[in-house]
Amino acid sequence: MYAVTAATGNLGRLVLDRLKGDVVAVVRDPSRVPSGVEARHGDYDDPISLRAAFAGVERLLLISSSELDTARRITQHRNAVDAAVAAGVTAIVYTSFLNADTVATGMTEGHHATEQAIFESGLAHTILRNPFYGEAFLPQVTDGVIRSSTGGRGLNTAFRDDLAQAAANALTGDDHLGRAYDLTGPLWSCPEVADALGVAYEEVPDAAPGPMAWLNGLVRAGALERQTPDLEILLGRPAERVIARLKG
């Protein structure tokens, strides 16, 4: 039997859609799970609930918590790993983030610590290091112009649909245990997209300080330009391109 945590989230719902039959959704609020799927209560802050929820589960997809406090998030993920061991889960697949293997601070601190906890747990495992979701960066055409503060640099984002399919494949496939996948979508840039849509491109300063300005700074520094074949390998096909999503 498979289990998926955080199955009420945007990614988890898409994974559930792809796992027909022998799957349990482990969530804080079982009433929010689609009918026809077994739902069990499991809260990352409540180790006892997790242990009960993982009973009889062979392979667990641990989707990272949306908790913003890093220390609490690490505790939550450790709770899930410990509960998996205690419940006799045989393998765990974890949705980590790109570079969490090498960067133990900042944005990837929680993922790095979780990966370490999984390695130390003795569980068979697969690590999926996701890129930024493409949905958050989709360019918009306003008055015939795409404006961005990305410096024309490349982005390796991927859409949740493809990352969910990759997670479902990793969970159910036979060849993924003991492996870590650094998942990147096909590289794209805002000027390229403007060109493909036949609209103008204008580079503008960040509108205001905040999360988007921080993300744009990362893009301008080239931090999202890494490319690997891993997402395409896990999917068995190319990942969806931004231009295809925009053209519908």
- Positions that interact with ligand NAP (CB under 6 A): 6, 8-12, 27-29, 43-45, 63-67, 76, 95, 130, 132-133
Report the residue number, 44 or 188, with the smaller CB distance to ligand NAP.
44
| Other beta carbons less than 10 A from residue 68's beta carbon | 8
Angle between helices 70-87 and 109-121 (to 10 degrees): 20
Q: Which residue is nearest to ligand NAP (CB)?
A: 9
Report the residue number, 15 or 193, with the smaller CB distance to ligand NAP.
15
Report the residue number, 70 or 121, with the smaller CB distance to ligand NAP.
70
Q: Which two tokens stand for residue 128?
A: 């999926």
Q: How far is it, in rounded angstroms, from Cα 28 to Cα 8?
A: 8
Q: Which of 13, 23, 89 is nearest to 51 (CA)?
A: 89
**Are 1 and 58 in contact, with CB atoms under 8 Å apart?**
yes
Report the residue number, 130 or 169, with the smaller CB distance to ligand NAP.
130
Write down the least CB distance from residue 152 to ligand NAP, Å.
Answer: 21
Write down the least CB distance from residue 191 to ligand NAP, Å.
Answer: 22
Write down the least CB distance from residue 200 to ligand NAP, Å.
Answer: 28
Write down the least CB distance from residue 3 to ligand NAP, Å.
Answer: 12
Q: Which of 196, 200, 191, 204 is nearest to 144 (CA)?
A: 200
